[in-house]
């Protein structure tokens, strides 16, 4: 039975450190131990070189994991995110994402198990706060580059008790405040 781990590092500010973290022997071994069969990567502009220069393909083959990847998809990442959902021939997998709000919302909307890893090197970084708050509310697992293998177990546990998205107190109109209103609505914040 197929089980997919889909990793997205973002398109605007590529998060190469996340890509490098999921290509380590420790992470590949954790995938194997959790029954994963496929590691699918949205690797951004420099990712193909990182992937090619790593030993990941050989290591993954030794762990029974197929690695696939692409730089950017103009159609969005919906198909890749849906591939982690349980189905007739698939066990439930996980999305591992940078902490960009668009990627987080895409995964939450389809109720995909989600691990969010903030890119702490960004200037004026809002990603840590977003990941911490969303994890506190029970929507996702806040991961870090230092301990990514352990988050696979956390995500499987959270999947059984994850909060439904969107929040119950969601209104029909975010108050006509543009993007701020949409984000408030999605997050469940009201005056």
Cβ-contact 78, 102 below 8 angstroms = no
Going by the DSSP 8-state scheme, the letter that residue 66 receives in this structure is E
Average pLDDT score over residue span 99-126: 88
Average pLDDT score over residue span 78-87: 92
Answer with the residue of higher pLDDT: 184 or 115. Answer: 115
Q: Which of 89, 80, 92 is nearest to 6 (CA)?
A: 80
- pLDDT value at position 182? 65
- The mean pLDDT value of the chain amounts to 86
> How many beta carbons lie within 10 A of that of residue 4, not counting itself?
23
pTM of the predicted model, to two decimals?
0.84
3-state secondary structure of 136: helix
Average pLDDT score over residue span 143-167: 87
- pLDDT value at position 181? 67
Q: Is residue 22 predicted with pLDDT exceeding 90? A: yes
> Above pLDDT 90, what percent of the chain?
52
Cβ-contact 82, 110 below 8 angstroms = yes
Q: Is residue 75 predicted with pLDDT exceeding 70? A: yes
Answer with the residue of higher pLDDT: 102 or 181. Answer: 102
């Amino acid at each position: 039975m197929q089980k997919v781990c889909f990793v997205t590092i973002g398109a605007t500010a590529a998060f190469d450190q996340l890509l490098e973290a999921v290509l380590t022997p420790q992470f590949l071994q954790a995938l194997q131990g959790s029954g994963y069969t496929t590691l699918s990567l949205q690797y951004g502009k420099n990712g193909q070189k990182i992937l090619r220069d790593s030993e990941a393909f050989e290591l993954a083959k030794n762990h029974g994991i197929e690695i696939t990847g692409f730089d950017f998809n103009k159609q969005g990442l919906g198909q890749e995110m849906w591939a982690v959902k349980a189905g007739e021939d698939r066990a439930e997998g996980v999305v591992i994402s940078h902490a960009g709000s668009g990627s987080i919302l895409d995964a939450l909307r389809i109720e995909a198990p989600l691990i969010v890893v903030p890119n702490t090197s960004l200037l004026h970084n809002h990603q840590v706060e977003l990941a911490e708050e969303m994890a506190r509310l029970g929507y996702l697992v806040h991961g870090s580059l230092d301990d990514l293998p352990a988050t696979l177990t956390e995500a499987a546990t959270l999947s059984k008790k994850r909060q439904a998205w969107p929040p119950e107190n969601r209104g029909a109109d975010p108050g006509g405040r543009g993007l701020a209103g949409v984000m408030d609505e999605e997050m469940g914040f009201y005056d």
